[in-house]
Amino acid sequence: MPTTQSATTRKTAAHRTTTSKSKNEAIKLLTADHAKVKKMFKEFEKLCKKNDEGGKEELAVQICRELTIHAQLEEEIFYPAAREAIDDDDLMNEAVVEHTAAKDLIAQIQSMDVSDPMYNATVTVLGEYVNHHIEEEQNVIFPKVQKAKMDLEEIGSQIAERKEILMEE
Ligand SMILES: [Fe+2]
Ligand SMILES: [Fe+2]
């Protein structure tokens, strides 16, 4: 029967989409955050050249917020799961220290006035730290957790759920 057949086809297609979409969900979500923030740092650089003080401040506030939420998601959900899965404490400790350094710079930026002569430099150095940290995660930690067969689908839903709550705060 045509109706039954099309219903079955639809069901199969939907199932396939869901499966391929969520298998690597945690990596996808974190990588999307990384791409977003990298783009924001590039945009900040452009605003510096234009001496757009208002734009710079607005963007820096956004960068700090994005990074704070992202770090919290990793520290609460992704890192503990990764630590258990890959059994490489040195690597995970390094990532945590990098978060601490980034949070330090974020706090500095948040307490600074945009007219401060060190403002641009502080945001730029934060960008350099974050870029290095992102490389480390994407090139070392993510492949390791994938190889360790961590449940990236489940961790991904936890991250998505928590992010929604943190974004509302
Ligand atoms: Fe991180
Ligand atoms: Fe990250």
Residue 118 pLDDT: 97
Please calculate the CA angle 5-6-8 and round it to the nearest 5 degrees: 65
pLDDT at residue 18 in the model: 45
Nearest-angstrom CA–CA distance, 161 and 1: 40
Query: Ligand 2 mean position to 15 CA, how many Å?
Result: 29
**Each residue's pLDDT tens digit, 33-79:** 999 999 999 999 999 999 999 999 999 999 999 999 999 999 999 99
Q: How far apart are CA 50 and CA 67, in angstroms?
A: 24
The pLDDT tens digits for 95-105 are: 999 999 999 99
Cα 37 to middle of ligand 2, angstroms = 10
- How far is ligand 2, taken at its centre, from the CA of residue 165, in Å? 18
For residue 83, pLDDT over 70 is answered with yes
Closest-approaching ligand to the CA atom of 159: 2
Binned at pLDDT 50, 70 and 90, residue 21 comes out as low
**Summary mean pLDDT of the chain:** 90
Q: Where are the domains of the chain?
A: 25-168
Ligand 2 geometric centre to CA of 17 (Å): 25
* 134 CA from centroid of ligand 2 (Å): 6
Q: In angstroms, what CA-CA distances link 164 with 7, 54, 70, 159?
A: 33, 28, 12, 9
Q: What angle do CA 24, 27, 31 make, to 5 degrees?
A: 135
Q: Tell how far the Cα of 130 is from the centroid of ligand 2, in angstroms.
A: 8
* Over residues 98-123, mean pLDDT: 97
Span 11-18, average pLDDT: 44
Share of the chain above pLDDT 70, in %: 87
Tokens of 36: 């977003």
Calculate how far, in angstroms, residue 61's C-alpha sits from the geometric centre of ligand 2. 18
pLDDT at 5: 47
